[in-house]
Amino acid sequence: MKIYNSLTNKLEEFKPLKPDKITIYICGITPYDTTHLGHAFTYISFDVLIRYLRFKGYQVIYTQNVTDINDRDKDILEKAKQQKIPWNRLADYWTEKFLEDMRALNWTFPDHYLKASEQIPSMIRLIRKLIKNSLAYQIKGSVYLDISEIKDFGKLSKLTKDQMLKVAKDFEEDLDNPEKKNPLDITLWRGSTPSQASHIPSFNSPFGKGRPGWHIECSAMSMSTFGETIDIHGGGSDLIFPHHEAEIAQSEAATGKIPFVKYWMHTGTVSYKGAKMSKSKENLVMVSDLLKKYSANALRFLLLSNHWRNNWEYKEEDLQKAQKNVELIESVIAASEAESDSAKRPESEDIPKAFTEIMDQDLDTPKALEFLSKFPSARMFDILGFRLEK
């Protein structure tokens, strides 16, 4: 099987670290709002990857996180303050809403689904390692990773320093923080201050009370479940910089094991009305709204009719077409099941080589759907994550 690796920018033969066991970490949501189509595209793309690898006989262990706490004041903390509710209640509410939407889409639940706020000891251990290796420094209860010590910083994003500064600024990273030696230094631990507002939580640590940085969370949670290296790390392409670049820097600096991740996979972005779907552009299309009008299979068909690496634009007419296409496949499968021996289950169906060849080529779901439309089969329908029962 070939997979496109964003670290090398090449289509590569997929060779897992261990022959039959694959470790996958996918960056999860920051739970403060509803699941939109961009989220669904990322998580359903990886859902199909996991289903397909399992179909191929691999044991796949899948970890995903929930960023319910991080070093930023905005998002969850700001919204919780506006709504006058505790931050963790807001985070739990939106996590449950996300899971509801994803369950409706027949999403594969991770083997480890980790809340950042419950994994703080592993983050502290990793930060202590970085301090011990003289790669991180402490100032007034905060800890930062010294980027000048990371010689290959930028190897994932391939950005110049000026480009990094620009992207980091758009991401509202704390570039102007006077405690940092270099504006791009990564906040590993944000120390609490005496004047800190009461709605902002504090956790105990050897560095003083505070909270972990967003980027260290995923390094720590990946290592606590899988060890120092993993096969696949995925997420939306907007996470390449700074989030995943920071994860590589922190993880490799702490362990000395290179690479931290063998294959980096980044999904494309979804636009609507000419702009990338985002809260600030007010052009979000919510999964829960679409599911009021269309079936989960139709929505999955639409998502998979776009290759996981491509950027695409949502148009309702495409979802209408997807609904028609998927209903046609469903009706053919239902008719052939009614005809055939009732003891015959989809698991016993042979899968055409043409289908696996398509999927082996960088998980080409748009072509796989074309094939499925020509030759409807319950087993292929199932491998692509569609629900069979009506």
List residues near Zn ion by CB under 5 A. 27, 218
Q: Which three-class secondary structure state does DSSP give residue 284?
A: coil
Taking the complex as a whole, how short is the minimal distance between the CB of residue 243 and Zn ion, in angstroms? 6
Strand order in the sheet with 142-145: 136-139, 142-145, 186-191, 210-212
Name which of 67 and 377 has its Cβ closer to Zn ion: 67
Taking the complex as a whole, how short is the minimal distance between the CB of residue 214 and Zn ion, in angstroms? 7
Greatest pairwise CA separation for the chain in angstroms: 73
What gap in Å lies between CA 157 and CA 82, rounded to an integer?
Answer: 35
Name which of 61 and 218 has its Cβ closer to Zn ion: 218
Angle between helices 365-374 and 296-304 (to 10 degrees): 120
Name which of 232 and 298 has its Cβ closer to Zn ion: 232
Name which of 130 and 246 has its Cβ closer to Zn ion: 246
Taking the complex as a whole, how short is the minimal distance between the CB of residue 218 and Zn ion, in angstroms? 3
Residues in the chain, how many? 390
Name which of 27 and 76 has its Cβ closer to Zn ion: 27
Taking the complex as a whole, how short is the minimal distance between the CB of residue 70 and Zn ion, in angstroms? 10
Taking the complex as a whole, how short is the minimal distance between the CB of residue 233 and Zn ion, in angstroms? 8
Name which of 247 and 330 has its Cβ closer to Zn ion: 247
Taking the complex as a whole, how short is the minimal distance between the CB of residue 300 and Zn ion, in angstroms? 24
* Distances in whole angstroms, Cα of residue 326 to Cα of each of 105, 298, 305, 308, 380: 14, 6, 11, 19, 13
Place of tokens 């359903």: 44
Name which of 24 and 27 has its Cβ closer to Zn ion: 27
Written as one string, the DSSP assignment of 206-254 is: TT-SEEE-HHHHHHHHHHHHH-S-EEEEEEEGGGIIIIIHHHHHHHHHH
Written as one string, the DSSP assignment of 89-110 is: HHHHHHHHHHHHHHHHTTPPPP
Give per-residue burial for 183-202: e unless 16+ CB within 10 Å, then b. Answer: bbbbbbbbbbeeeeeeebbe
Taking the complex as a whole, how short is the minimal distance between the CB of residue 213 and Zn ion, in angstroms? 11
